[in-house]
Structure 1
Amino acid sequence: MNLKKITIIALLVVVQAAAVLPSASAASVTSSDKTAAAAQTQTAAETTKSQTANTATPGTTTEVKSVQGEQAPQDETEVPAEGQPADANAPTDTQQPPVDEQPADGEMQTDGSTDPVIETPPSTPVQNPNQTPTKNPTTNTPAANPSATPAIDFAAATEGNDKLILVINGDKMYQKGQTYTAAQPMTAKNGVSYIAVRSFVDRVGLKLTYDAKTKETVISKGSDELRFKLGTDTYTVNGVPTKMKGASFQQKNTFMVPLTSITQALGIPYTIDYKAKTITLTISSKPVASFTVEPKKIIAGETMVTYNTKSESPSGYEIVDERWEGRQDVFTDPGVYTVSYSVQDSKGQWSDPYTQTITVEAPNVPPVAQFTTDKETYRMGEPITYTDQSYDPDGVLPEANSRVWENQKGAYFTPGPQTITLTVTDADGAKATVSKTITITDEMLYTQDEYNQLFVPVGSKFLFDGGSVPPMHKIEHLDTMEDVTLYRSNSPESVYNTGKLYEDTLSGKVRFMIHHANYTKQKVTMYVVATNNNATPTTIETLDSGFGGPSPFAMAAGKVSVQRYHQAVMDGSKKSTVTLQPGESKIILTELNAIPMANETVISLIADVNSSQPITYSTLMIDPSLDPIQEAKNLPVVARDGVHNRGTYPLATKIFQVFEPIGGSTPSKLVLGDNSSDPNLTGTDAPFNTVESNAGNFGVLYKIHLESVAPNTLITFNGRGGKYLGWIVVNGQLVELSAQSMGLVGAGLNTSSEAGVIYRTGNTSESVDLEFTPAPGSNLSVNLLFTQMPARKQ
């Protein structure tokens, strides 16, 4: 050994001796100074030990001895969310940013929306959570500082209450005196605190499932439901998309979400203790009571009330008792009552009262049926004026179907007593009936025909000699056409197999007449799909539209569609526009597809649209689950039924102008839809390129101008092809064809011997304008009849 090495060894021996032997000055240190020095020595030792543990070489094994009286941490078990797939790429960054503006006292109350993130101060040693702290056997434990804050027993702090304590940035949870270990510690990412979902849910008493179809983790409590997807910052709260403070992620097969996403949505309050680094949540363990009441309408003294109770315990305890306040099985008096319901669990806890307000109505008072006539005695054929004075003492009589008359006529034509009866029904179904007898003398004022021509109301009908119509004078008219193309989709009318029912490419103004019945034995939806095959955008303007159905009655659907179409033409209420980009398809005339069609129901549509470029229009009847845009591209057009009509017909608005005087002593008629006086339109079945004739001219709009109609002329509507239900516009007023009349059963024109009154001229000549389109489902041809009325008598 050389001299240099000997010198170094000697110096080391001297230094070690100096460190062991106290100096003279050290012997004079006071007791308090010794305590402080010992505390500093212990802190330095623990810091060194913690740093050594955190920098241990990976893969090495170190034997660690527990401090006497301190239990080693429990083994961590990672529990992934139920059904949640593992994500090897899930982010694991747990950097903890600082919290702004922490309260000075270290504690803060929150409603569940504040993120409890704490940055560990740099001066505080970081302990490896996977290691148990060790005690240095060669160092004496320093004396306890009597002023130091004693350790808090968090588990004991939750004994006998509804508190749940979480350790910020830790994996320990304390509840009901027990200590639990989360699958992953509370983790901070970008200023947001995340918790392990399953571990938290188990402690809070929520239900956790996984929806494999939507790939969502579902948390539910009672009627509340939260749905989370991996890797997104949006979740749904009872079906409403809601933004979270950060995106969910997966950490070591454990699904992590922001703590506030659960606490805020479910209203779980908590306290943040920044000094203790804990969050204390208040988890209600009270049972929950609720009930419903049946029926909805409760009548005093009559209704037996049924109370359907529902109760549960968040902690799973048995419900052992209940308590009611204000409950009555039969409420004797009308008024507003408050009923409360509470339940008690097996631990003796009572729920908060669940309260409902119940409105009890007074018993229904039946309606009063009452009417008068302007006289007590009438001549035969003399008009009778009825005044209905019926009313409901505790409500309003419904407008429809509330009154039923028996033997009510506008006039009687046989002498003797006539008893008229009126029955009224209120909204609650109570009825009242009244009868009155009048006397008819043997004196004649008007004959039946005279009375009908003079007094049957506009929109009503009467019987006449239908055989008198064929020989009537036929009115000549000057015809012009408007440039409107008719797209008629009406064959097959009864559809037995779904598919594309018609298709054509058209530009300019197009009128749709679509009328189909569903006989596919399944629910279907009708569509009109418009496709722009041009190189530039095209706008389609809907001008007017009338839709009827779905209805089990073809005539009823057709009648409603015509009424709504005429109304839309008059008021412009259905105007809209849609723009199609090149190659784009969209659904138009959406009233058609608003309601799926049940089997054996009918729809009817009449509508006008306009486009500046050619558009391909496709009519579909398909399963509601299918995509109509895709089906319009792929489906072939089905074959027609060989009976009904479909096709594309140009010049589909006919303008009739009549300049010759009409009326006077010679009865005359204007014929529509007979293919003689009014020829059918000629067109093409576009998909099959066959020539077609528009039988009945359904879908055609007639604009009729009568230049001079004689004074005292009756204009009636008479169906010649069979039953007819519809509407016509007369001088800007919609008139029904025809309403039920006094003395005649049923609405509509049922035979060729029924005439519907649509207009009467006054004492001078008048011009009259009519607009009419045949109602789908009804029968053509029809006549407009012009006859001179008899003179009025006193």
Structure 2
Amino acid sequence: MNFKRLVIATFLAASQVAMVLPASAEEAVPNTPPSEANVSGQTVNNPANGNQDPNAVTGETVNPDQGQVEGQTEGQVEGQVTEENGGTTVPGNEQEGTGTDSTVTGGSTTTTTPSTNSLSNGTGAGQLILMMDSKKMYQNGKEYLAGYPMEVKKGVSYVSIRAIVERAGLQISYDNKTKETIIQRGADELRFKVNASNYKVNGVTTKMSGTSYSAKNNFMVPLTAITKALNMPYEWDQKGKRVIVSVSTKPIASFSIGNKEVISGETQVQYLTNAYSPSGLQIVNEEWIGREEMYMTPGAYTVTYRVQDSSGQWSDPFSLTVNVRKPHTPPVANFTTDKDTYKMGELITYNDLSTDEVGIKDRDWENKQLAFFSPGPVSIKLTVTNEFGLTSSIEKTITITNETLYTRDDFNKIFTPVGDKYAFDGTQVPTWEKVNYTFTSDSTTLIRSNSPETVFSEGVVYRESAIGDTRFMIHHANATGKNVKMYVIATNKNTTETARLTQTNFGFAGPNQYATGVGKASVERYYQSMQTGSKYKDMWIAPGESKIILNDLSATAMKQGEVISLFADLYSDHTLQYDVIMIDSSKDPFVYLPYLSVLPSDIHNRGTYSDATRHIEYGDLIGTKPVRLLIGDNSSDPFLVGEDGPTGEYKLNAGNFGVVYTIKLYRVAPNTLITFNPRGGFYTGNIMVNGNIVPVALSSGLSAPNENSVLFRSGDREQTVEFLFTAAPGSNLSVNLLFQPLPEVKQP
């Protein structure tokens, strides 16, 4: 019989039977013989439909492990690794071996059987008896010979993989390319390598209780590696010095319910069957008990399924409980307001009292405002939706009198939530007095890779060398017409010294098609890394070595039209060359880097700039009158001057994108409102205020010049307020921080 088919068929047949084993089951001689138990109702994933060849036994003696593979080269395991006993994720090493495909014919049997005393209860149908320290195996009263005795090493029982798999009627093969012995049963697949402590079960790398090896050309593996993966019950007969393994070849039946849920009187139940014969026989009959196409009454219903193969054998019954739920009811929308009558400009408090049996997924308000500024009746509506798509609505009418508590502008200043926006007359802002601040700078090198912003071909989008504190700002869109990846490759061109590269802060977003969205998200994540320190890492780059850094950038391929945005702060103790490249996602960046040309810039800005961290400190009292602090205007805040890394051309960092500002105002007056107002166009991003990240703005961005976003309100005492800000890619500069006195708070 073909060597591949034998192992696969045996392995799959046995995997349908579950077992309960003591913790000492791996040991050769446990103190107490374990008892055998069957677990019913086990679902089988992707079983075959009986297409394997049956393993007939012919009439001559055979060594079942003749010609097994050997080898011992080690390599890395990829993918998830689980423990054989318990499922804990662990690292592992995958071993490679060498060998060739081989086939094996069926083995003959003799009529020799163990004595009655030694066999006791181990001669039942579907049982395989393995004798300790012996080649002998017994099945259905007949003796077979393994190629090598079952033996114990370091407390682990090892068996010849071919012997046990062949006797269980599975299929075995060998993959010359991966150097793996493969056992299959239906769609289930196990892969073993010689000299390995791991094996793969349906692609998942799993740790064995011991290390596989080759003994006189026989592939030896821990017994539990096979019995565990294939759910083959076995027990240890201490008196007879033998292991009794269940290798039943009855067909296997299972099914699952394809519906997410079953509702009485509504759901047509989908029964998804899985049935096959481990011996490859055709499934010719099936039987159901308790099956209904639609259940009319809620409750728990047991459904049982079994199948028959062409030899007449019936499978064990497989049962599932179908939980039938009553029809879903819609949610109940409900809300109240703290009063029924309000003055114009009076704050309205809403209390959402909506309920649902499972949970409300969406709330949609109509005309819900914090205050109204025209007299008369006002209707407010709430619609709630649960996770089943059922909805409910409620409408409430309140009355607005003709009395005024606050004007719209005063109300917005006092009550607009921090991070939200309100409209005002921004045309008057240029008349406000400027805060005449001064600043100092840190010698941070800014590498701004933002041109060509839209990349039409593969190539190097930026190249520069730097040492010390270095900040990357990268913002590009893919217009190549194919999937690409972006990489930053650091090369140490020093011939003698290893460079240490430290990453401190990092924020990345994308790829997706919304440029302003990824720009905003990258800045927010950059700030978050400052708060948590979670992106700190060190790496070492040897002389002449190149390494990919900022790995999140290249983790996901960019589709046509998608955008990425990145901020990162690094420090290197030696000069490193940085190449920012975009290439086809299937290509190796190290192979293709020497052949990539530097792409020409477009109208957007790229360059290398010094002194890219600015510190603003202001000690005078602020907030007693309307004033503005202007950023990115090239007057109060002059633009950085630098050069293009690849060409050496003069560059001006318009808007000062990539510059990080720390702003410390030592004396902010009591009851001061601080807002963010864009002047150069649309803006959406974030700013840190006293260590907290505040969106600009929460629900959407800001349009210049007549929208602003609330950042902070001081209390009833003078205080210090600190900001940290960098401009979000995709937005526009300049911007103002506005300071003005809050209106007097009134009682309704």
Shared fold (TM-score, shorter chain, > 0.5): yes
Cα deviations across residues 676-714 of structure 1 (Å, max 9, x unaligned)? 221111122222222211121111111112233344432
Change (3 A) 1:761 1:176: closer
Q: How does 1:199-210 map to 2 (within 5 A)?
A: 204-210=168-174
Equivalent of residue 739 in structure 1, options 687, 694, 698:
698
- Mapped pair 1:395 → 2:358: yes
* Paired amino acid for 1:653: T
Distance (Å, rounded) in 1 between the aligned partners of 2:487 and 2:736? 34
Contact 1:293 1:307 in 2 (8 A): yes
Contact 2:134 2:149 in 1 (8 A): no
Partner of 2:608: 648
Contact 1:321 1:343 in 2 (8 A): yes
Displacement of 1:622 in angstroms is 3.1
Worse-matched range after superposition: 218-227 or 356-365: 356-365
Partner of 1:524: 484
Displacement of 1:159 in angstroms is 12
- Mapped pair 1:305 → 2:257: no
Partner of 2:714: 761
Aligned length: 638
* Paired amino acid for 1:768: V
Distance (Å, rounded) in 2 between the aligned partners of 1:259 and 1:386? 69
* Paired amino acid for 1:696: G
Q: Secondary structure at the match of 2:357?
A: coil
* Paired amino acid for 1:760: R
* Paired amino acid for 1:247: Y
Q: Secondary structure at the match of 2:409?
A: helix
Contact 1:168 1:186 in 2 (8 A): no
* Paired amino acid for 2:557: P
- Mapped pair 1:466 → 2:426: yes
Change (3 A) 1:249 1:629: farther
Partner of 2:503: 542
Distance (Å, rounded) in 2 between the aligned partners of 1:264 and 1:733? 52
- Mapped pair 1:713 → 2:672: yes
Partner of 1:751: 704
- Mapped pair 1:599 → 2:560: yes
Displacement of 1:417 in angstroms is 1.5
* Paired amino acid for 1:370: N
Displacement of 1:476 in angstroms is 0.9
Q: How does 1:442-457 map to 2 (within 5 A)?
A: 442-457=402-417
The percentage of counterpart residues that share the same residue type is: 45
Cα deviations across residues 594-632 of structure 1 (Å, max 9, x unaligned)? 333333222211121222222333323333443445555
Change (3 A) 1:170 1:730: closer
Partner of 1:11: none
Contact 2:135 2:150 in 1 (8 A): no
Distance (Å, rounded) in 2 between the aligned partners of 1:280 and 1:403? 62
Q: Secondary structure at the match of 2:360?
A: coil
Change (3 A) 1:289 1:767: same
- Mapped pair 1:371 → 2:332: no
Q: How does 1:608-687 map to 2 (within 5 A)?
A: 608-632=569-593, 634-636=594-596, 638-665=598-625, 667-687=626-646
Contact 2:113 2:142 in 1 (8 A): no
Partner of 1:55: none
Displacement of 1:286 in angstroms is 0.7
Q: Secondary structure at the match of 1:502?
A: strand
Distance (Å, rounded) in 1 between the aligned partners of 2:644 and 2:584? 25
Distance (Å, rounded) in 1 between the aligned partners of 2:359 and 2:123? 64
Displacement of 1:764 in angstroms is 4.5
- Mapped pair 1:240 → 2:205: yes
Distance (Å, rounded) in 2 between the aligned partners of 1:715 and 1:590? 38
Contact 2:64 2:166 in 1 (8 A): no
Worse-matched range after superposition: 204-213 or 691-700: 204-213
Change (3 A) 1:726 1:168: closer
- Mapped pair 1:330 → 2:289: no
Equivalent of residue 651 in structure 2, options 672, 688, 692:
692
Change (3 A) 1:684 1:217: same
TM-score (norm 1): 0.71
Contact 2:499 2:574 in 1 (8 A): yes
* Paired amino acid for 2:426: G
* Paired amino acid for 1:224: D
Change (3 A) 1:231 1:590: closer
Displacement of 1:330 in angstroms is 3.3
Displacement of 1:206 in angstroms is 1.8
Displacement of 1:569 in angstroms is 1.6
Distance (Å, rounded) in 1 between the aligned partners of 2:585 and 2:261? 36
Displacement of 1:723 in angstroms is 0.9
Distance (Å, rounded) in 2 between the aligned partners of 1:789 and 1:233? 70
Q: Secondary structure at the match of 1:385?
A: coil
Distance (Å, rounded) in 2 between the aligned partners of 1:502 and 1:574? 24
Equivalent of residue 417 in structure 1, options 366, 369, 377:
377
* Paired amino acid for 1:414: S
Partner of 1:787: 740
Displacement of 1:307 in angstroms is 0.6
Change (3 A) 1:481 1:205: same
Change (3 A) 1:722 1:188: same
Partner of 1:571: 532
- Mapped pair 1:384 → 2:347: yes
Cα deviations across residues 370-402 of structure 1 (Å, max 9, x unaligned)? 22222222222x22322232333323434xxx2
Equivalent of residue 775 in structure 1, options 720, 728, 745:
728
Worse-matched range after superposition: 679-688 or 386-395: 386-395
Partner of 1:320: 284
Equivalent of residue 219 in structure 1, options 183, 188, 195:
183
Displacement of 1:282 in angstroms is 5.1
Distance (Å, rounded) in 2 between the aligned partners of 1:440 and 1:277? 92
Distance (Å, rounded) in 2 between the aligned partners of 1:315 and 1:618? 58
* Paired amino acid for 1:290: S
Q: Secondary structure at the match of 1:470?
A: helix
Distance (Å, rounded) in 2 between the aligned partners of 1:521 and 1:250? 57
- Mapped pair 1:560 → 2:521: yes
Structure having greater relative contact order (Cα 8 Å, sep ≥ 6): 2
Partner of 2:56: none
Q: How does 1:73-92 map to 2 (within 5 A)?
A: none
Distance (Å, rounded) in 1 between the aligned partners of 2:206 and 2:355? 48
Worse-matched range after superposition: 419-428 or 584-593: 584-593
Distance (Å, rounded) in 2 between the aligned partners of 1:678 and 1:304? 68
Change (3 A) 1:536 1:336: farther
Q: Secondary structure at the match of 2:213?
A: coil
* Paired amino acid for 1:570: Q
Partner of 1:438: 398
Change (3 A) 1:256 1:766: closer
Change (3 A) 1:465 1:217: same
Displacement of 1:274 in angstroms is 14
Q: Secondary structure at the match of 1:564?
A: helix
Cα deviations across residues 92-142 of structure 1 (Å, max 9, x unaligned)? xxxxxxxxxxxxxxxxxxxxxxxxxxxxxxxxxxxxxxxxxxxxxxxxxxx
RMSD of aligned residue pairs (Cα, Å): 4.0
Contact 2:134 2:150 in 1 (8 A): no
Q: Secondary structure at the match of 2:553?
A: coil
- Mapped pair 1:586 → 2:547: yes
Distance (Å, rounded) in 1 between the aligned partners of 2:712 and 2:244? 83
Unaligned runs of 5+ in 1: 1-72, 91-149, 741-746
Displacement of 1:738 in angstroms is 1.1
Contact 1:499 1:636 in 2 (8 A): yes
Distance (Å, rounded) in 2 between the aligned partners of 1:732 and 1:515? 26
* Paired amino acid for 1:773: T
Change (3 A) 1:432 1:226: same
Q: Secondary structure at the match of 2:680?
A: coil
Distance (Å, rounded) in 2 between the aligned partners of 1:530 and 1:628? 12
Distance (Å, rounded) in 2 between the aligned partners of 1:569 and 1:277? 64
Worse-matched range after superposition: 588-597 or 722-731: 588-597
Partner of 1:19: none
Contact 1:489 1:514 in 2 (8 A): yes
Q: Secondary structure at the match of 1:477?
A: coil
Contact 1:671 1:678 in 2 (8 A): yes
Displacement of 1:784 in angstroms is 1.6
Change (3 A) 1:302 1:480: same
Distance (Å, rounded) in 2 between the aligned partners of 1:272 and 1:379? 86
